[in-house]
Structure 1
Amino acid sequence: MPRLLGVEIPAEKRIEASLTYIYGIGFSRARRILEQTNIDPNIRAKDLTPQQLNEIIHAITNNKIKIEGDLRREVQGNLKRLQAINSYRGIRHRKGLPVRGQRTSTNARTRKGPRKTVGVIRNPEAKTGKV
């Protein structure tokens, strides 16, 4: 498995698809990187030469594309900022509810998590029918 910028990419897949295993690089951005470096997108990742790997790394770093840790840190920072200023979106993130205006009376189970059933504890005297 070739390593690119600290991420193992699958060797058997085409390089166009393998680049998407890097957090922050999707399919269209992977295509753009390969166009800049003049690398055939249909080549398997295991068939890349070290020079081609270096060209891909330089294309990512020279375009100042945020990937992996830097991007994750930025996204978390954005969420923390929204929560710190007590914006509506920040409050929804904090409570674990849908953020973009979806309904919550029904649905929204993915965001809310599994149902929390409220149990009822009965009085033992009520069972026997005694008053």
Structure 2
Amino acid sequence: MARIAGINVPVKKCIPFALTYIYGIGITTGNKICDACGINKGKRVSELRDEETEKISNFIRQNCVIEGELRKEVSMNIKSLIELGCYRGIRHRKGLPVNGQRTHTNAKTRKGRSRLPIAGKK
């Protein structure tokens, strides 16, 4: 495992895919980081030199919100929605889907396990 921006990323993957192991960086952002740093996208993390790794880390530190800061920002946004009492905040508070999905048959993951006993066979 190589360390980029304080996170262990897999060595055998191509750089844009390896960067997705960092919370807040997806494929598109990984590709943009490679372009900005002038690194070949097909290159594996194990093939990176130390200065290239440092260049990627510095670019991420300066231009991206990642890991703890991003998690904190997202949770603060959710808390503010809940405090406002808007529709999305109420859905967050109740633990229901927020973006208008149906709940009659779906949303088992978001709603959780049902607490009603199931009648057995006789």
Inter-partner Cα distance in structure 1 for 2:69 and 2:115: 36
Inter-partner Cα distance in structure 1 for 2:118 and 2:52: 62
Structure 1: segments with no counterpart, 5+ residues: 121-131
Look up the equivalent residue of 2:85 and give its one-letter code. Answer: N
**Residue 126 (structure 1) aligns with:** none
Inter-partner Cα distance in structure 2 for 1:119 and 1:52: 59
Question: TM-score, normalized by length of structure 2?
Answer: 0.91
Inter-partner Cα distance in structure 2 for 1:98 and 1:78: 16
**Residue 42 (structure 1) aligns with:** 42
**Structure 1 moving runs of 4+ over 3 Å:** none
Inter-partner Cα distance in structure 2 for 1:71 and 1:57: 17
Look up the equivalent residue of 2:90 and give its one-letter code. Answer: I
Superposed displacement of residue 62, structure 1 = 2.5
Equivalent residues of 2:24, 2:65 under 8 A apart: yes
Superposed displacement of residue 15, structure 1 = 1.1
SS of aligned partner of 2:10: coil
Inter-partner Cα distance in structure 2 for 1:12 and 1:22: 16
**Residue 107 (structure 1) aligns with:** 106
Answer yes or no: is 1:29 the counterpart of 2:29. yes
Superposed displacement of residue 118, structure 1 = 4.2
SS of aligned partner of 1:21: coil
Q: Which segment is superposed worse, 98-107 or 35-44? A: 98-107
Look up the equivalent residue of 2:104 and give its one-letter code. Answer: S
Superposed displacement of residue 32, structure 1 = 0.5
Inter-partner Cα distance in structure 2 for 1:8 and 1:38: 22
Answer yes or no: is 1:55 the counterpart of 2:55. yes
- Aligned residue pairs: how many? 119
1:29-81: CA deviation from partner (whole Å, max 9, x where unpaired): 00001001110111111111110011101211232x10000000000000000
Superposed displacement of residue 105, structure 1 = 2.4
Q: Which segment is superposed worse, 37-46 or 104-113? A: 104-113
1:71-129: CA deviation from partner (whole Å, max 9, x where unpaired): 00000000000011111111100110111112222222121012221479xxxxxxxxx
Q: Which segment is superposed worse, 7-16 or 103-112? A: 103-112
Question: TM-score, normalized by length of structure 1?
Answer: 0.85
Superposed displacement of residue 28, structure 1 = 0.6
| Identity, % of aligned positions | 45
**Residue 96 (structure 1) aligns with:** 95
